[in-house]
Each structure stands twice: as structure tokens, then as C-alpha cells.
Amino acid sequence: MQLLDGKQTSEQIKQEIAQEVTRIREAGGKVPHLAAVLVGSDGASETYVNNKVKSCERVGFESTLVRFDADVSQQTLLDKIAELNADDSIDGYIVQLPLPDHIDENTVTLAIDPDKDVDGFHPTNIGRLCLGMPTFIPATPNGIMELLRRHDIETEGKHCVVVGRSNIVGTPMSLLMSRNSNPGNATVTLVHSRTRDMEAICRSADILVVAIGKAEFLGADMVREGAVVIDVGITRLPDESKKSGFRLAGDVDFAAVSEKCSWITPVPGGVGPMTIASLLQNTLKARQFRQG
Ligand code: NAP
């Protein structure tokens, strides 16, 4: 088994982006500027947003963090989004999900200017993705594709099983893997909670992408010998031996599955850091797009 090391690969990508930022700065250009909107104080969301902001600083981007209390009204949030859309100094921004129940995520997503939608969640950008047009590809699936590309993992003609059909991971992942591209050109099966005989389908996969949010769900009995396994899940499990009081677990039983597969992403240190690197790539793209 070999590790698909997202930490190391994301560091390489960040170095490449930092070099590009230096080039822009030396040429007298404006460096990319990412804004992040955080509603409430959910521990995991705080961590994700802080990591995104810190990563911006590391590569030389400007960053702005906009915070709201959990009880902010939907209208106040929409007003801020309109402001960010109109603000010429901001190249791209994200609204960290999930949002509190009283705010409709679809209304918020639709309000974001597609040209600043570096998360790639706006229907315009998802539509472009479906049609194979240039777009902002959602960060997590894009990060997985980059990980496959940079490790020369063969995908053409392979059977790729994507477990989970969320709008932000499973569904775009299935589209990307089925596209006529490299990586891509795979034969894709998308499975979900209503799928029958999921175990057998997973066992037939050359490439398995698991994104369901159930800690250590996928065991060795669901994996074919030599498969490539991408574990997207991140669940906090209570662990008193840790200072934080929890440990992070993926959707895959790493100890058992790593005995059987050819490549596997660890959690943490796999898909997570690649997601952040992809967001930075999308922000750089937004800057380049805006300057024409
Ligand atoms: P989500 O919106 O909760 O969707 C979960 C999907 O998994 C749904 O399609 C659901 O099926 C399916 N599912 C649930 N239980 C299942 C089962 N027993 N068998 C088959 N399918 C099942 O999830 P998400 O937003 O994609 O996130 C998934 C996980 O990835 C979470 O742990 C999340 O924290 C993590 N994540 C990590 C990153 C990263 O950067 N590493 C980024 C995003 C998300 P139905 O549609 O039928 O309900």
C-alpha cells in the first residue's frame, strides 16, 4: 500500500501558488483576495475557516474573515453577500456551510456572484462543470482529481465507485471521473443510502471514493485487492487522550483497508489539505479571470 499524501501534495501546490503571487506582486499587479463568511461558532467550521484564512496568508493572498452570530437574519447575510459581490477588491469568497436552520442555503448560494464563487457551488458553475466548460470546480472533488493526477493514478477505463451523492462532494466527483479527461474517462457508479447490494458494488471498484460522514464505515470486506481508496470523511470522535478531547476519523477503516488496497488517503492529511489547496487555486483563477 502507498499513501496518497495530501499534506505533501498540497504543500507543493501552495509553493507553486506562492511563486505565482510573488510574480504578480513583482509585476506590480494586485494579489488575489479571498473573503470567508462564517455564521455561528461551530467548532469544525471555525477550524476549517481558520485554516483557509491561514493558508491565504501563507501563499501571499489577502484575506478577509466576515463573522456573524448564529442568530443573524437571512437578510443581513444576503446584504453582506451583495456587498461582497460589488466589492472590486474581493476576487472570490466562500460562505462556510452548514448554515443555521433558519437560513436557506440555496437562497444564499444563488445570491453569490458565480464569477466570485470559488467554492463552485452556484448552479451556473455546476452547470458549466456538467458541460465540461471552464468553471470553478468544487474544492474537495477538484483536490481529489489533483491528487490522482499528481500521483499518476490511471483512471481511464477503470470502474470508479463514489459512495455518497452530496452536492459538494459525491455528485461533482462522479461527474469529474466520468468526463473525457485525464484523470477521468472512468466508468462511474454513484451509490447512496438507498442503493441495494452496496457491498458487492464497492468490491467491484478499481477506485473507491467514500464521502458519507460515517466514521470507519468502509471495511476491508468492501474493498477489492489492489483498489485505490479515497477517504473524504471527517468525523470527530471523542478521545480523552487528546488535548482537544477528540480525534478525527475518516469513513474508511484505515488499519484494515490499507492492508488490501494499492493507494489510500489518510485522515487527517489526505483530502482535507487538498481541499484547501484547491480553494487557493480557484481564488488565483478568480483573480486571473477578473483581470481578463
Ligand atoms: P452529506 O451531505 O451528509 O451526504 C452524505 C451522503 O452519504 C448522502 O448522499 C447519503 O445518502 C450518503 N450516505 C449516508 N449513509 C450512507 C450509507 N450507509 N450508505 C451509503 N450512502 C450513505 O455529506 P458530505 O457533505 O458529502 O460529507 C461527507 C463527509 O465528508 C463528511 O464526513 C464531511 O465532514 C466530509 N467532508 C470532508 C471534506 C474534506 O475536505 N476532507 C470536505 C467536505 C466534506 P442519501 O443521499 O441517500 O441520504
Question: Which pLDDT score, from 0 to 100, does residue 208 have?
Answer: 98
Q: Is 222 in the pocket of ligand 1 (CB under 6 A)?
A: no
d(CA 125, CA 140): 15
- Ligand 1 centroid to Cα of residue 215, in Å, is 11
Q: Does ligand 1 lie within 6 Å of residue 172's CB atom?
A: no
Percent of the chain with pLDDT strictly greater than 70: 100
Ligand 1 binding pocket includes 275 (Cβ within 6 Å): yes
How many whole angstroms from its chain centre is CA 7? 14
What pLDDT is stored for residue 243 in this prediction?
A: 93
- 13-33 pLDDT, tens digit per residue, is 999 999 999 999 999 999 999
50/202 Cα distance (integer angstroms): 35
Cα-only R_g, the chain: 19
pLDDT at residue 280 tops 90: yes
Q: For the chain, give the percent of residues with pLDDT over 90.
A: 98
Rounded to the nearest angstrom, the distance between the alpha carbon of 290 and the centre of ligand 1 is: 33
All structural domains of the chain with their residue ranges: 29-113, 139-272
Mean pLDDT of 241-255: 96
Q: What is the pTM of this model?
A: 0.97
**Is the pLDDT reported for residue 290 higher than 90?**
no
Helix ranges (DSSP H) in 132-242: 139-150, 170-178, 198-203
Q: What is the pLDDT of residues 62-116, one digit of tens each?
A: 999 999 999 999 999 999 999 999 999 999 999 999 999 999 999 999 999 999 9
- Ligand 1 pocket, 267 CB below 6 A? no
Q: What is the mean pLDDT of residues 223-234?
A: 98
pLDDT tens track for 120-168: 999 999 999 999 999 999 999 999 999 999 999 999 999 999 999 999 9
User: 29-113 domain in CATH 3.40.50.10860?
Assistant: yes
| Mean pLDDT to the nearest integer, 197-212 | 98
Look at domain 139-272 and name its CATH class: alpha beta
Ramachandran region of residue 155, left (φ > 0), alpha (ψ -120 to 50) or beta? alpha
Give SS3 for 178. Answer: helix
With a 6 A CB cut-off, is 193 part of the ligand 1 pocket?
Answer: yes
Burial of residue 257, with CB atoms counted within 10 A of its CB: 0-12 exposed, 13-18 middle, 19 or more buried: buried
Task: Look at ligand 1, atom 18, and give the residue with the nearest C-alpha.
Answer: 193
What average pLDDT does the chain have? 97
Which of 121, 147, 193, 216 has most ligand 1 atoms within 8 Å of CB, for mutation? 193
Write down the pLDDT at residue 105: 97
Is 139-272 in the same CATH topology as 29-113?
Answer: yes
